[in-house]
Structure 1
Amino acid sequence: MLNNKITFIGGGNMAEGIIKGIVSNEVFQPKNITVFDILNERRKYLKDIYGITEAEDTSSAVKDADIVLIAVRPQDIVKVAQNIKNDLSKSAIIISICAGIKMEKMEELFGSEHKFVRVMPNTMIEVQHGYSAASVNDKVEESDKEIIKSLLNALGQTMFIDENMFNAFTAYSCAGPAYVMYFIAALVDSGVQSGFSRKDAISIALENLMASALTIQKTGKHPYQITDTMTSPAGITIDGLHVLSESGFHGTVMSSIRKALERTNELEK
């Protein structure tokens, strides 16, 4: 458990997801977690549910905080910076989960002398699987990265990446579960079409999905190496895979992610 004091500026759904993760995994003691939100009822709710401290203003919220996590709308970060930059400790780690706000902008708003971390949180926080991405500036030390990793690992896994990979991470990792969900839905429907109840079809699809993922993780093999062992001459599986290949399944998945990346790049401009 970390002894650091962490303050959340903004108490919306994503902030709550992070608070829930770090409290339930005992990364921080509730007494060391403070939240400020412009809505009084939201602050009270988070205090009552998670046992954390609520702050009535931003100045008291960030005072003595070792970590300040900014979880507001991107258009509100300028006002937040104006309100808290004079009260921040010089050694505080400033973490932003504000979409589209680059490190350069944070340094401009808060001062380049600070430690900055830009984070794209895991979208599967509820089950604590999936990756959060973090990019840091040159003021962040290795010991700080360990703190950041402990914080984000309460949400799933953590990957430190260069900031220029953030858009790719958004299109590939953050949107990734949606692509997988589409595939699962198709598998379930095919199971129903084959005569299974929807309940049984879901059970089979999910078990196969998890078993496949664990097999790749355990063996370190490329997926095609594994499917090669599952296809016998003139067999059933190779006929099914032939239809997927013929339909351009592989290329369609790649094209969908490329399109998502293009859209992400457009929105950043």
Structure 2
Amino acid sequence: MLNKKITFIGGGNMAEGIIRGVISNEIFSPKNIAVFDILSERRKYLNVTYGILETEDVTVAVKDANIILIAVLPQNIVSVAQNIKDHISESTIIISICAGIKMEKLENLFESHHKLVRIMPNTMIDVQHGYSAANVNEQVQPEDKKIVETLLSALGQTMFIDENLFNAFTAYSCAGPAYIMYFLAAIIDSGVESGFSRKDAAAIALENLIASALTIQKTGKHPYQITDTMTSPAGTTIAGLHVLSESSFHGTIMSSVKSALERTNELE
């Protein structure tokens, strides 16, 4: 457990997911977590549900915090910075999960001598699998990165990346589960068409997905190395893979991610 005080500015769904994760994984004690939200009913809900501290004054909330996590709408971060920047110690780690707010803007808002971290949270936060992306400024030391990584371990894995990869992370990692869900839906439907109940088809598909992922993780092999061992001459599996190859399945997936990245760049 981190013997640190953390203050959340903004108590929306993503902030709540992080709060729930750090408490359930015993990374922070509820008594060391404070939240400020402009909605008093939201503050009260988080206080009653998780036993954390609520505060009506954001300057008081950040004064003694070791970590400040800003989870407000992007258009509100300027006013947040104006209200709190003169009340923050230089040793405090400031984390932003505000979509589209780059490190350069964070340094302009809070000044570059502060320890600043930009986070793109894991979208599969409730099951604590998947990656969160993190980018830090020069003031963040190795020991600070360890604290950030420990905090984010409540959400899954952490990957420190260059900021120029954030859009790619959005298109590939954040949207990634949607591509896999789409594929799973098709596999399950094919199981039903083959004669299995939808419950049994889903159970088989999920076990195959988990087993495939664990096999790649354990062996470190490329997926094609594994499928090569599964295809016997004139066999069943190679016949099925033939159809996927004819339908440009591989290229379609790559094009999907490329299209998502292009759209992410447009929205920046």
Alignment TM class, shorter chain as reference:
over 0.9
Runs of 4+ displaced beyond 3 Å: none
C-alpha RMSD over aligned residues: 0.5
Distance 1:2 1:122 in 2: 21
1:112 Cα deviation from its structure 2 partner = 1.1
Match of 2:152 in 1: 152
SS class of match (1:86): helix
**Residues 119-155 of structure 1 deviation map (CA, whole Å, 9 limit, x = unaligned):** 0000001100000010000000000000000000111
Q: Report the Cα offset of residue 90 of structure 1.
A: 1.4
Taking the aligned partners of 1:133 and 1:111, their CA distance within structure 2 comes to 22
Secondary structure of the residue that 1:250 maps to in structure 2?
Answer: helix
Larger CA deviation: 83-92 vs 175-184 = 83-92
Q: Matched residues in 2 for 1:204 and 1:176: separation?
A: 21
Q: In structure 2, what residue type is equivalent to 1:250?
A: H
Equivalent residue, structure 2, for 1:35: 35
CA distance in 2, matches of 1:205, 1:114: 48
Q: Does the residue aligned with 1:225 lie in a helix, a strand or coil?
A: helix
Which residue in the other structure is 2:108 paired with? 108
CA distance in 1, matches of 2:89, 2:50: 26
Aligned to 2:187: 187
Report the equivalent of 2:241: 241
TM-score normalised by L of structure 1: 0.99
Runs of 5+ unmatched residues, structure 1: none
- 1:24 corresponds to: 24
Residue identity matched to 2:79? K
Q: How many residues align?
A: 268
Q: 2:71 maps to what in 1? A: 71
In structure 2, the residue matched to 1:121 is 121
* Distance (whole Å) between structure 2 residues aligned to residue 165 and residue 184 of structure 1: 27
Residue identity in the other structure for 1:3: N
Which residue is 1:260 aligned to?
A: 260
Name the CA distance, whole Å, in 1 between partners of 2:245 and 2:148: 42
| Residue deviations 1:199-238 (CA, integer Å, cap 9, x gap) | 0000000000000000000010000000000000000000
Give the TM-score, by structure 2 length. Answer: 0.99
- Once the two structures are superposed, residues 79-101 of structure 1 have per-residue CA deviations (whole angstroms, 9 ceiling, x without a partner) of 10111111111111000000000
Equivalence for 1:166: 166
Q: For residue 140 of structure 1, what is the aligned residue in structure 2? A: 140
- What are the equivalent positions in structure 2 for 1:179-218 lying under 5 Å apart? 179-218=179-218
**3-state SS of the aligned residue for 1:229?**
helix
> Residues of 2 paired with 1:164 and 1:28: CA distance?
31
Report the AA paired with residue 27 of structure 1. I
The whole-number CA distance in structure 2 between the counterparts of 1:201 and 1:239 is 21
- Structure 2: where are the runs of 5+ without partners? none
1:19-58 CA-partner distances (Å, limit 9, x unpaired): 0000000001111100000000100110111110001111
The residue aligned with 2:15 is 15
Q: Separation in 2 of the partners of 1:65 and 1:33? A: 9
2-structure distance, mates of 1:106, 1:117: 9
Q: Does 1:89 align with 2:86?
A: no
Q: Percent sequence identity over matched residues?
A: 78
